[in-house]
A and B are shown apart, each in its own frame.
Chain A
């Protein structure tokens, strides 16, 4: 890890002093961009602390009355805790399986030559461009039919959603991990094999530890993908398996939208992923550098 950190620190442009025009452009550009980025975050935080009358009236930059009531109300208005559990189980399981499957596949692609390798990588990557809408309905029918034939309930269940989500992050994960594995010298795993390791134990003893930043990056990506998905979640879940992506829309009733609660709930559901991502983002940059950018 230290190596990545130091490699990044070395990247400066010229040793020459930058001219004024550059410094000013940079200052103005970065200030505007920061304002653009921060604005919704500010609205989210400040509105979540306002009473309902205040968010229903004209917008106020500085809240006139502060309250933390919305943070208690959000759990009552909709069963947010249940949605939370569903999202954690679904996204967590999808991440674990997706990373495991991607590690094996990337190992094969990186370390072996075999027939159909190119077909495999191209096919897997091209699934990324499928419009989700094209396979939403067929997938729904497949799950219903599997359920009828075998009794395994995939439609409406967490398992079905896990199965779906884990394939969403798979193509990118395989692609990035292959790049990462390629950057690990083959001598390392060959040496392990000479020492008596089989191919699988060489993978887990040598390659996986050496590629851990890449694996963390892929895990972060997979978790975020599953945590944020809306389309399949809104069709493939029922009342008991609903995830946050769908559940958050429950704060809008026919007559009224509890905007302060919507903002509080948005904040609460974002905190785990945002904190996790920001803590681990350097691995994602390192992973992209090794994997994608070649």
Chain B
């Protein structure tokens, strides 16, 4: 292993000193310019085919009256201007109302889930920073929820949340005596909390993994210097560990936010195709309303609105966190 973490500052100078390599100094011109593009070509084509072109198509579809009659030849579907959007955001009508409710549910769910995932991940990483017996074992164990395939993990939780033969009601009702009769967890209002528990269980190890990686970049002498100055462990965590994690957290929270807000798999496997209203996350909501009514135009319009929302939030977030970092680091 000949690898070091330091990038040489003079990288450009080095490259300029040996133009084109020694073997073919004449070949430099066009081929050298073309080479990076050739290397990128496969990635670019795949991204175009699977992400960018479909996205542009999706945006186009959102302006069309795309019902089941036009699925086979969607390009012939009549244009409908902004009709799909007016339907989606008419909050007095049932469609818009349901969308707005699903949006607020998703917002609350995301805030709680991301907050808890971040907290558990950070706390666990900090507590496992120092060596003690069993540390390696716990670190491996904590990654198990992340490693399990989503459907296997979520289906197990679905079993645990069963009303009559699940573990949750056995503990809460039979053993602790809470409530008069066993509660329903996968239908009704409780389903929100069931979904949250599953989402946190599945999501926090990613925060743990990322923060753990971030902790390795904090130089040890900082702790030694603080210890010499008489700072205790709690103070060191507050004044060295947490501030040093700022840039890691900036990316981590954003990624968690986007994944949680777009999460489809967890509610889909937990509830089956029909999510209860209390846990009707936006991705599943759009999926259901598109495939139930076969009205893909409106479904696309909702997806575009969702994308716009995520873009705005991401933009504002990056602007705020980056600016905040610059001023507070002084």
- Residues of A in contact (CB 8 Å), total 122
A59 touches B165 (CB 8 A): yes
CA distance A266 to B4 in the complex (A): 41
A142 touches B49 (CB 8 A): yes
With A186-B11, A187-B8, A194-B21 known to touch, is A137 a contact of B296 (CB < 8 Å)? yes
With A167-B51, A293-B210 known to touch, is A138 a contact of B170 (CB < 8 Å)? no
Is A41 part of the contact surface with B, judged by Cβ < 8 Å?
A: yes
Give residues 183-227 of A contacting B (CB, 8 Å): 183-188, 190, 193-199, 210-211, 224, 227
With A133-B286, A135-B54 known to touch, is A123 a contact of B47 (CB < 8 Å)? yes
Q: B227 — nearest CB in chain A belongs to which residue?
A: A14
Is B44 part of the contact surface with A, judged by Cβ < 8 Å?
A: yes
B140 touches A193 (CB 8 A): no
A285 touches B213 (CB 8 A): yes
Query: CB-CB < 8 A to B144: which residues of A?
Result: 37, 41, 274, 278
CA distance A270 to B209 in the complex (A): 20
Query: CB-CB < 8 A to B33: which residues of A?
Result: 114
Give residues 21-60 of B contacting A (CB, 8 Å): 21-24, 33, 35-37, 39-40, 42-44, 46-47, 49-55, 57-58
With A26-B127, A167-B47 known to touch, is A33 a contact of B258 (CB < 8 Å)? no
Interface string of A107-118 (1 = CB under 8 A from B): 111001110010
Query: CB-CB < 8 A to A100: which residues of B?
Result: 42
CA distance A3 to B232 in the complex (A): 30
A170 touches B53 (CB 8 A): no
Give residues 13-72 of A contacting B (CB, 8 Å): 13-16, 18-19, 21-22, 25-26, 29-30, 33-34, 36-41, 43-44, 47, 55-59
Interface string of A145-173 (1 = CB under 8 A from B): 00000000000000000011011001000
A163 touches B7 (CB 8 A): no
**Interface of A, helix, strand, loop or mixed by DSSP:** helix
Is A74 part of the contact surface with B, judged by Cβ < 8 Å?
A: no
- Residues of B in contact (CB 8 Å), total 120
Q: How far is the CB of A289 from chain B (nearest CB, A)?
A: 4
CA distance A10 to B223 in the complex (A): 12
Give residues 213-267 of B contacting A (CB, 8 Å): 213-218, 220, 223-224, 226-227, 232-234, 236, 241, 247-248, 251, 255, 258, 262, 264-265
A14 touches B215 (CB 8 A): no
Q: How far is the CB of B156 from chain A (nearest CB, A)?
A: 5
Is B81 part of the contact surface with A, judged by Cβ < 8 Å?
A: no
A130 touches B51 (CB 8 A): yes
B264 touches A193 (CB 8 A): no
B39 touches A104 (CB 8 A): yes
Q: How far is the CB of A119 from chain B (nearest CB, A)?
A: 11
With A129-B310, A142-B53 known to touch, is A14 a contact of B147 (CB < 8 Å)? no
CA distance A164 to B49 in the complex (A): 9
Central interface residue in B51, B241, B300, by most chain A CB within 10 Å? B51
A43 touches B4 (CB 8 A): no
Is B142 part of the contact surface with A, judged by Cβ < 8 Å?
A: yes
A2 touches B1 (CB 8 A): yes
Is A93 part of the contact surface with B, judged by Cβ < 8 Å?
A: no
8 Å CB contact of B57 from A12, A142, A274: A142
8 Å CB contact of A14 from B18, B58, B224, B299: B224
Is A102 part of the contact surface with B, judged by Cβ < 8 Å?
A: yes
CA distance A194 to B152 in the complex (A): 52
- 8 additional contacts (CB under 8 A) given A9-B131, A137-B299: A55-B165, A129-B258, A131-B262, A134-B55, A137-B296, A245-B149, A285-B212, A289-B213
State the 4 A-B residue pairs at the shortest beta-carbon distance, nearest first: A135-B54, A138-B57, A138-B54, A134-B303
